[in-house]
């Protein structure tokens, strides 16, 4: 019998599905890293989010590990190189929250386009400013999506209703051109995009990729949306671009550091929150009631398929 240790909060459908596959599931969403390491030798499967790093030290304890399931999309907290060396398959579930993230991106863009957060506060304070809160329509803009995987494609599909021109770029993926997204090179994004949305993983290549040099290559002033990983954007560069007007506004669901309240004491954070044109949310783009179920369901299906192919 395969034994699976779940060290994060998941929907009960994952537990039920794994048990129906004949597996024994130990559900410990509050467990600490050291305690998990102590019992890991007993398990063939591990399900995680991002509460602690699944590094080489951790994985050395998993002498029987056959798979790691990531309840979400990003795998940046897992030492993939060492896992591969050990023959441990790593599974994730980007299909489960792609619609949630895509809708959140659109929410952030519409909030920026129509000044909704500041207008809301003004009216509640008895201030009635119409001209100052005049917005723009998405159909008048060119939307650049960087990263055309599950979420990038979901976003492109949802933008169809706004009659927005959508440009898609992906360094490692091609052949995704459809009637609702143009497949272009990065130089076209730099030349023509008005709004940028990032949908790429955090790697050594992408860490701090969006810095002053990157932002300086845009021919227009842009709106920047980041729902991927905060470390992809160099926050000091973002603040400088906001000050210069190169970035007209930003919607950020992720930050360089998300350890609050400590992160709120960083100078970059103190500067960032001074801009009315910056909308922040607490890493909840993929955090919907529906995605809570879908992520677990997708992951259970991938675990099932993994063992069926090995049979």
Are 38 and 129 part of one and the same domain? Answer: no
- On whether residue 77 sits in a domain, the answer given is yes
Q: Which of 3, 49, 173, 283 is catalytic?
A: 283
Q: Which of 115, 229, 231, 234 is catalytic?
A: 229
- On whether residue 285 sits in a domain, the answer given is no
CATH number of the domain that 42 lies in? 3.40.50.720
Are 123 and 262 part of one and the same domain? Answer: yes
Model confidence at 311, pLDDT cuts 50, 70, 90, reads low
Are 82 and 111 part of one and the same domain? Answer: no
- Indicate the number of domains in the chain: 2
Are 57 and 168 part of one and the same domain? Answer: no
Distance CA 141, CA 195 (A): 7
Residue 296 has pLDDT above 90, yes or no: yes
Is 60 marked active-site? no
Six token digits for residue 5: 């240790």
Distance CA 98, CA 72 (A): 10
Average pLDDT over residues 200-224: 96
Are 232 and 133 part of one and the same domain? Answer: yes
Are 124 and 43 part of one and the same domain? Answer: no
Are 249 and 119 part of one and the same domain? Answer: yes
Are 116 and 210 part of one and the same domain? Answer: yes
Residue 138 has pLDDT above 90, yes or no: yes
Are 160 and 39 part of one and the same domain? Answer: no
Dihedral Cα 172, 181, 285, 170, nearest 10 deg: 10
Q: Tell me which residue range forms the domain holding 111.
A: 98-280
Is 217 marked active-site? no
Are 87 and 107 part of one and the same domain? Answer: no
Q: Which of 122, 192, 258, 301 is catalytic?
A: 258
Residue 227 has pLDDT above 80, yes or no: yes
Average pLDDT over residues 22-36: 95
Are 295 and 239 part of one and the same domain? Answer: no
Are 83 and 143 part of one and the same domain? Answer: no
Is 84 marked active-site? no
Residue 162 has pLDDT above 70, yes or no: yes
**b/e sequence 269-283, b meaning 16+ C-beta within 10 Å:** bebbeeeeebbebee
């Amino acid at each position: 019998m395969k034994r699976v240790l779940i060290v994060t909060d998941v929907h009960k459908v994952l537990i039920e599905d794994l048990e129906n596959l004949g597996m024994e599931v130990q559900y410990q969403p509050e467990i600490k890293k050291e305690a998990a390491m102590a019992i890991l030798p007993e398990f063939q499967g591990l399900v995680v989010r991002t509460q602690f790093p699944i590094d080489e030290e951790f994985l050395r304890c998993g002498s029987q590990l056959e798979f790691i399931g990531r309840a979400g999309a990003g795998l940046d907290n897992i030492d993939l190189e060492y896992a591969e060396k050990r023959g441990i398959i790593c599974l994730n579930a980007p299909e489960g929250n792609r619609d949630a993230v895509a809708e959140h991106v659109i929410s952030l863009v519409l909030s920026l386009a129509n000044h909704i957060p500041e207008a809301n506060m003004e009216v509640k304070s008895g201030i009635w400013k119409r001209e100052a809160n005049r917005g723009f329509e998405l159909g008048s803009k060119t939307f650049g999506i960087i990263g055309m995987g599950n979420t990038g494609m979901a976003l492109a599909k949802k933008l169809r209703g706004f009659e927005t021109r959508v440009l898609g770029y992906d360094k490692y993926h091609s052949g995704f051109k459809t009637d609702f997204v143009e497949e272009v090179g990065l130089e076209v994004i730099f030349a023509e995009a008005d709004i940028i949305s990032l949908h790429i993983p955090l790697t050594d290549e992408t860490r701090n990729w969006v810095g002053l040099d990157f932002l300086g290559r845009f021919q227009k002033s842009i709106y920047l949306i980041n729902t991927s990983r905060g470390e992809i954007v160099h926050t000091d560069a973002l603040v400088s671009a906001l000050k210069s007007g190169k970035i007209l506004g930003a919607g950020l669901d992720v930050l360089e550091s998300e350890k609050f309240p400590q992160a709120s004491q960083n100078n970059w954070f103190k500067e960032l929150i001074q801009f009315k044109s910056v909308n922040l949310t607490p890493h909840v783009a993929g955090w919907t009631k529906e995605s809570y179920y879908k992520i677990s369901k997708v992951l259970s299906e991938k675990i099932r398929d993994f063992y069926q192919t090995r049979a």
